[in-house]
Amino acid sequence: MKDSKPDQSGFLFGAQYYRAPTPDPSCWRKDLDRMRSLGMSSVKLWAQWRWIHRTPSTFVFDDLDRIMALCHEREFSIHINVIFDATPHWLYQRYPDAKPVLTDGTVIEPFEMAARQIGGHPGPSLAHPGALKQRKRFLSAVIRHLRSHPGLAAWDVWNEPELCGRTRSPDPRHLADYNPHNIKAFREWLKKRYASDLSALNNVWGRCYSDWRQVEAPRTGEAYADFVDWRDYHCDLMTSEADWRFGLVAKLDPGRMKFLHVVPSIMEYWNPVGSATDDRALLRNSDVFASTGTGRPWWAPHLVGCADGKTAWNTEVHIAYGATAMHERIIGLATVRRELLPQIGAGIRGFQFWQFRAETLGRESPGWGLVRPDGSDRPLTLAVGEFWKKLAPHAARLASCGTADAGFGLWRSRRNEFHHAAMHGNLDRLRSSYEAWLKACHWRSLTGRTVDSDAVTQGGLTGLRMLIMAEPYYLTQPEADKIAEWVEAGGVLVSEAHLGGYDGTTGRHSSVIPGCGLASRFGLNESESTSTFHLDLYRKEQADLSVSDDVKKASSDGLSGGRLVNLQTRESVILTAAERYAEIACDDAESLAWLVKDRPIVLMKPAGKGWILYAGTDVGLGAELSGDTSGLQWLLGLALEKAGLKAPKGIETPAGRRIRVDQIRDKRGELAFIVCHNDEDSAVTIRLTCQKNLKGVFDDIPVPASGSIILPPRSAEIFTSRP
* Domains of the chain by residue range: 7-171+240-399, 408-643, 651-720
Q: Does residue 294 carry a pLDDT above 80?
A: no
Helix (H, G, I), strand (E, B) or coil at 449: strand
Q: Are 649 and 691 in contact (CB under 8 A)?
A: no
Residue 268, pLDDT score: 82
Q: Work out the average pLDDT over 426-438.
A: 96
**pLDDT per residue as tens digits for the range 481-515:** 999 999 999 999 999 999 999 999 999 999 999 99
**Rounded Cα gap, residues 105 and 88, in angstroms:** 23
Q: Does residue 8 carry a pLDDT above 80?
A: no
Q: Which DSSP string do the residues of 528-597 spell out, in sequence order?
A: EEEEGGGHHHHHHHHHHHT--HHHHHHHHTT---SSEEEEEETTS--EEEESEEEEEE-SS-EEEEEEET
Residue 539, pLDDT score: 62
Q: What's CA 99's distance to the chain center, in Å?
A: 28
- Those residues whose C-beta lies under 8 Å from the C-beta of residue 269, and which sit 6 or more positions away, are 168, 263, 275
Confidence of residue 216 (pLDDT cuts 50, 70, 90): very high
What is the widest separation between alpha-carbon atoms in the chain? 86
Helix (H, G, I), strand (E, B) or coil at 43: strand
Helix (H, G, I), strand (E, B) or coil at 479: helix
Q: Work out the average pLDDT over 642-666.
A: 91
Residue 552, pLDDT score: 43
Residue 648, pLDDT score: 84
**pLDDT per residue as tens digits for the range 65-87:** 999 999 999 999 999 999 999 99
**pLDDT per residue as tens digits for the range 16-54:** 999 999 999 999 999 999 999 999 999 999 999 999 999
Q: What values do phi and psi take at 394, rounded to 5?
A: -110, 0
Strands (E), 462-517: 466-469, 474-475, 492-495, 502-503, 508-509
Residue 655, pLDDT score: 87
Strands (E), 183-248: none
Confidence of residue 540 (pLDDT cuts 50, 70, 90): low
Residue 722, pLDDT score: 80
Q: Are 336 and 670 in contact (CB under 8 A)?
A: no
Q: Work out the average pLDDT over 117-125.
A: 97
CATH class of 651-720: mainly beta
**pLDDT per residue as tens digits for the range 551-573:** 444 443 434 578 999 999 988 89
Judge residue 37's burial from the number of C-beta atoms within 10 Å of its C-beta, 0-12 exposed, 13-18 middle, 19 or more buried: exposed
pTM for this model (two decimals):
0.95
Residue 543, pLDDT score: 54
Name the least confident of 55-69, 318-332, 531-545, 615-629.
531-545
For residue 709, give the H/E element and its range. Answer: strand 708-711
Q: Are 204 and 507 in contact (CB under 8 A)?
A: yes
Task: Give alpha helix (H) positions in 294-427.
Answer: 300-307, 333-346, 379-399, 414-424
Confidence of residue 1 (pLDDT cuts 50, 70, 90): very low
Strands (E), 318-378: 348-353
Q: Does residue 4 carry a pLDDT above 80?
A: no
Angstrom CA distances, 699 to 393, 571, 619, 650, 710, stand at 15, 43, 40, 22, 12
Helix (H, G, I), strand (E, B) or coil at 91: helix
CATH class of 7-171+240-399: alpha beta
**Rounded Cα gap, residues 179 and 16, in angstroms:** 34
**Rounded Cα gap, residues 639 and 633, in angstroms:** 10
- Count how many Cα atoms sit within 13 Å of the Cα of residue 32 in the half-sphere of its side chain: 25
**pLDDT per residue as tens digits for the range 239-259:** 999 999 999 999 999 999 999
**pLDDT per residue as tens digits for the range 309-333:** 999 999 999 999 999 999 999 999 9
Residue 541, pLDDT score: 63
Residues 408-643: name the CATH superfamily. Answer: Class I glutamine amidotransferase (GATase) domain (3.40.50.880)
Confidence of residue 165 (pLDDT cuts 50, 70, 90): confident
**Rounded Cα gap, residues 103 and 100, in angstroms:** 10
Residue 267, pLDDT score: 79
- Count how many Cα atoms sit within 13 Å of the Cα of residue 675 in the half-sphere of its side chain: 24
- Those residues whose C-beta lies under 8 Å from the C-beta of residue 349, and which sit 6 or more positions away, are 11, 12, 311, 312, 313, 398, 399, 401
Judge residue 457's burial from the number of C-beta atoms within 10 Å of its C-beta, 0-12 exposed, 13-18 middle, 19 or more buried: middle
Residue 542, pLDDT score: 62
Q: Are 19 and 316 in contact (CB under 8 A)?
A: no
